[in-house]
Amino acid sequence: MTHEAGIPLGIRFKLLSDTPQDSAAQVVSDVVVGDYRDLDTLRDFARGCDVITFDHEHVPTEHLRTLEADGIPVRPGPDALVHAQDKGVMRARLDAIGVPCPRHRIVSDPEDVAAFAAEGEGFPVVLKTVRGGYDGKGVWVVRSAAEAEDPFRAGVPVLAEEKVDFVRELAANVVRSPHGQAVAYPVVESRQVNGVCDTVIAPAPDLPAERALHAEQLALNIAKELDVIGHLAVELFETRDGRILVNELAMRPHNSGHWSQDGAITSQFANHVRAVLDLPLGDPRPRAKWTVMVNVLGGDYPDMYSAYLHCMARDPQLKIHMYGKDVKVGRKVGHVNTYGDDLADVLDRARHAAAYLRGTITE
Amino acid sequence: MTHEAGIPLGIRFKLLSDTPQDSAAQVVSDVVVGDYRDLDTLRDFARGCDVITFDHEHVPTEHLRTLEADGIPVRPGPDALVHAQDKGVMRARLDAIGVPCPRHRIVSDPEDVAAFAAEGEGFPVVLKTVRGGYDGKGVWVVRSAAEAEDPFRAGVPVLAEEKVDFVRELAANVVRSPHGQAVAYPVVESRQVNGVCDTVIAPAPDLPAERALHAEQLALNIAKELDVIGHLAVELFETRDGRILVNELAMRPHNSGHWSQDGAITSQFANHVRAVLDLPLGDPRPRAKWTVMVNVLGGDYPDMYSAYLHCMARDPQLKIHMYGKDVKVGRKVGHVNTYGDDLADVLDRARHAAAYLRGTITE
C-alpha cells in the first residue's frame, strides 16, 4: 500500500522481503529476498537507498544504528522506533514526558504480578512481553498469580498493566517530517474482536471536540518528544470517567489509518512517504462525513476473489483492498472502506462486504 | 496507473514493455522487455495470462486475432480495437451506425484534397494518416492543395475532414464489460494547446444537461455497437450551432479521464481493470463539484522532483501524478489534479502547479 501511494509521486521502492510471496513483493519491481534480522543482509540492501523505512517494527534496533552510522537515513530512526519495539522503554518514556498511561510496571514473576495487583485495583491484570507482540499475541489478561506463568516463559521482560475500564478504544494518527512539520488525522474509534482490530470509524462518533483535540495534541506531542519521523499511530483508551490513556504506539502506516486511503484528502501511506523524504505533508482532512474500515479476515473462501462479483455488484461505491496473502483462518488478508453521510448505512455496507468476502455470510 | 489501480484488488500484472525504462516497467514486478509488433514475442508473453489489455493502441490487429485464436481473451478485442487504430475504419463504422462526425472521406492525392474542399466549405481541410498518429502527430491542417503534399509521403491512406467550427472540445468517457454492463463518467471539457491536451475540467462547465446526456448516450452507443470492452474515450467537438460531432476514439484509459483518479468515486483505471476481468463496474460519479487536470509537459527542469517542495507546500490538497519518464521538452511527463467547490480556484491551483513543475514559472 505504501508502494501504491509512491507510484503517483514517482517514488521508486526497493523492498527487503522475507519471501517472494510477501504482499509487497508481489507488486514492487525491485525486490531483495532476505532476513531483516541479519546485519550483512541489511547493509547490502541499504547501499544506494536514499532513505530506509518500514512496514513493521521488528528490525533490531542495534542494526538500525549501524545503518545510520553507515550514513543511510533511517526514518523513523532507531531512537524513536525503540519506543514502538519495546513496551518497557515506551512506558518509561511516556511517564517521563507526562503522557497519561494505564498504571504499569515491569514484573519479575507471578508473585510480583500479585504484588502489582495488590498495589492497585487487584486482578485482572494485563501482562505483555515488552518485545515481539502484535494483534493480541504476547498479551495475557490474568485473574490470579496462578494464571500468570505463561508470559514469563519467553525469557523477555514482562510488563504488567492495570486492566483499564474503558468505554471504547480510539486512535490518534499523526505524521511528522524531519523538517518538523506535522499533521493530525481525525481521531478514530477502533473496535476490536478477540484482540484484533475489526472496525474503524472516522471520525470517532460522539467524541467531544475538546477531547478529540486533546487526543490529537497528545499524539503530536509524543511524535515531537520521541522525534518520530513518518506515521505515528497512538492507540488510546477512552475511560468511563472521560480520560484518555495511551495503550500502544506504532511507527508506520497503521490499521487504524487504512480508512484514509479512500476517506482522507491525503492517505496515511502518501503522507508517510512524503514525511520520510522530508517533503511537505498533504492535507489529512476527511473527504466524507463518515468513513468506515472493516478488516477482512481469512475464513471459508480459499480464493476470496470469487466474492468480488457479489460485493461489487451490491455496492458500486465499495473500496476493496486485498493484500494477496494466502488465506488462513483469522489472518488479516484485506480490508474494505466505505464512506457517506449516513453512518448506519456506511457501517452496514462495510460489514456486509467484509463478512461476504470472508464467507461468514453468503447473501 | 493501471497497475496502481489493480493493487488494491489484488490484480497482478505481467507487463510487455519496449524498454526497462518505460513508466510501467519501473513499478510492475513482472516485466518482459520485448517488441509488441513481433508475433512470437506476443504469443510467448500471452501464455498463462488470464486476459490481455493495453495502454496504447499500436499492437497490430492481426497479431491480436492470433492471440484470440490461441485462446487468450484480448480486451478490447481486435474487432473493436481496429476502430481506434484505423481512422478510416472508424469513420466508415460511425457513419454506418448513424453517429454524427465531421464531413470526411479518404483522399488519394493533393488534387483530391482540393476536390474534397470544393465539395463542402472549401479550405482549410484537416488531413490525417489513418494509422499511427497521436497528440497532433499525423495530423495536418492545410489551406491549399499545394500544402497537402506531406501527408501522402508516409504511404498510408489519408483521411480528409472538414475543419469543424467548434466552440470547444468535450470528451465522453465510458467503460463497458463483457457482461454488457456500462458506466458513463460525466462529460468533460478538454482544452488543447498545439494539438496536445492541456487542461480537462470535470464536469464540462455550462454544458446543458440535455447535451451532456446526449454525449454520454452517444459514447455508450458506440461502445455497444463496436463491442468495446474496457475504457472508451470519445473525443467530441461541440459546434457553434450546438451539435456534438465525434473527433476521435481511444480504447484504453485516456488523458481526458485522468481527473477521475482523484475526482471520481471509481477511477477510469480501476473501472478498466474491472471491465477487462468482467467484474461489476464501480460508481463513476464525481466526488467533488469540480475537478481539474492539467498535464505536466517536459520543460526546463531535468529533475522535476525539485519542484515538489514548492508545489506541495503551497497546496496541501494538490495531487501530483508523475510517470517517471525522462524529461524532454513538450513530452507529457505527468499531470496534476485539483478539486473543490470554486472552479476558478481549482483551475488556478492546477495550472500553477503544472507550470511550476515544468519550470515555466518559478514562484
Instruction: Give the tens place of pLDDT for each residue, B9-27.
Output: 999 999 999 999 999 999 9
Residue keyed to cell 513538450? B330
Does B8 sit behind a cis peptide bond, omega within 30 degrees of 0 on the bond before it? no
pLDDT in tens, B145-167: 999 999 998 788 999 999 999 99
Contact by Cβ (8 Å): A173, A231: yes
Task: Report the b/e string of A240-264 with b at 16+ CB within 10 A.
Answer: eeeebbbbbbbbbbbbbbbbbbbbb
- B28 and chain A in contact, CB less than 8 A: yes
What integer pLDDT is reported at residue B330 of this predicted model?
Answer: 85
What integer pLDDT is reported at residue B362 of this predicted model?
Answer: 80
pLDDT at A305 over 80: no
Whether A305 and B10 lie within 8 Å, measured CB to CB = yes
Q: Give A283's contacts in chain B (Cβ within 8 Å).
A: 316-317
pLDDT at A174 over 90: yes
Tell me the shortest Cα–Cα distance from B320 to chain A, in angstroms: 6
What integer pLDDT is reported at residue A132 of this predicted model?
Answer: 76
Give the residue numbers of the binding site of B for ATP: 87, 128, 161-164, 169, 247-248
For chain A, the residue count is 363
List B183's β-bridge partners, or say none. Answer: B175
What integer pLDDT is reported at residue A362 of this predicted model?
Answer: 80
Q: Chain B interface, mutation test: which of A3, A9, A314, most B Cβ atoms within 10 Å?
A: A9
Tell me the shortest Cα–Cα distance from A308 to chain B, in angstroms: 7
E strand or H helix at A62:
helix A61-69
Please state, in angstroms and as integers, the Cα–Cα distance from residue B356 to each residue in A317, B94, B298, B351, following that order.
Answer: 35, 41, 11, 8
Q: Give B324's contacts in chain A (Cβ within 8 Å).
A: 10, 12
Which residue ranges form the domains of chain B, and what is each CATH number? 2-85 (3.40.50.20), 103-162 (3.30.1490.20), 166-358 (3.30.470.20)
User: B236 in helix, strand or coil?
Assistant: strand
Written as one letter, the residue type at B127 is: L
Distance separating alpha carbons of residues A176 and A306, to the nearest angstrom: 40
Q: Give A323's contacts in chain B (Cβ within 8 Å).
A: 10
Does A73 sit behind a cis peptide bond, omega within 30 degrees of 0 on the bond before it? no
Distance separating alpha carbons of residues B311 and B129, to the nearest angstrom: 40
What phi and psi values does residue B71 have, to the nearest 5 degrees? 95, 10
Contact by Cβ (8 Å): A188, A259: yes
Give the residue numbers of the binding site of A for ATP: 87, 128, 161-164, 169, 247-248
List A171's β-bridge partners, or say none. Answer: A188, A235
Contact by Cβ (8 Å): B320, B306: no
Please state, in angstroms and as integers, the Cα–Cα distance from residue B118 to each residue in B51, B113, B115, B144, B147, following that order.
Answer: 48, 9, 5, 11, 16
Pick from B31, B266, B317: CB nearest A265:
B317
Whether A279 and B309 lie within 8 Å, measured CB to CB = yes
Q: Give B152-188 as a 3 state SS string.
A: HHHCCCEEEEECCCEEEEEEEEEEECCCCCEEECCCE
Distance, C-alpha B128 to centroid of its chain: 17
What integer pLDDT is reported at residue B337 of this predicted model?
Answer: 98
- A319 and chain B in contact, CB less than 8 A: yes
Q: Give A274's contacts in chain B (Cβ within 8 Å).
A: 312
Work out the number of other CB atoms within 10 angstroms of the CB of residue B184.
Answer: 21
Mean pLDDT (whole number) for A166-175: 98
pLDDT in tens, B72-130: 999 999 999 999 999 999 999 999 999 999 999 999 999 999 999 999 999 999 999 99
Mean pLDDT (whole number) for A19-25: 93
Pick from A261, A280, A319: CB nearest B312:
A280
Mean pLDDT (whole number) for B50-54: 96
Whether A312 and B282 lie within 8 Å, measured CB to CB = yes
List B97's β-bridge partners, or say none. Answer: none
Mean pLDDT (whole number) for B177-186: 97
Q: Which residues contact B103 (CB under 8 A, 6 or more apart)?
A: B119, B120, B161, B162
| Residues of B (283-302) whose Cβ lies below 8 Å from A | 283, 287
Distance separating alpha carbons of residues A225 and B47, to the nearest angstrom: 55
Mean pLDDT (whole number) for A148-177: 94
Distance separating alpha carbons of residues A28 and A17, to the nearest angstrom: 10
Work out the number of other CB atoms within 10 angstroms of the CB of residue B56.
Answer: 10
Give the residue numbers of the binding site of B: 87, 128, 161-164, 169, 247-248
Give the up-direction half-sphere exposure of residue A346: CA atoms within 13 A in the CB hemisphere. Answer: 23
What integer pLDDT is reported at residue A135 of this predicted model?
Answer: 64
- B266 and chain A in contact, CB less than 8 A: yes
Q: Chain B interface, mutation test: which of A27, A31, A333, A356, most B Cβ atoms within 10 Å?
A: A27
- A20 and chain B in contact, CB less than 8 A: no
The shares of helix, strand and coil residues in chain A, as percent rounded to the nearest 5, are 35, 25, 40
Whether A320 and B29 lie within 8 Å, measured CB to CB = no
- A8 and chain B in contact, CB less than 8 A: yes
Tell me the shortest Cα–Cα distance from A261 to chain B, in angstroms: 10
Distance separating alpha carbons of residues B220 and B287, to the nearest angstrom: 22
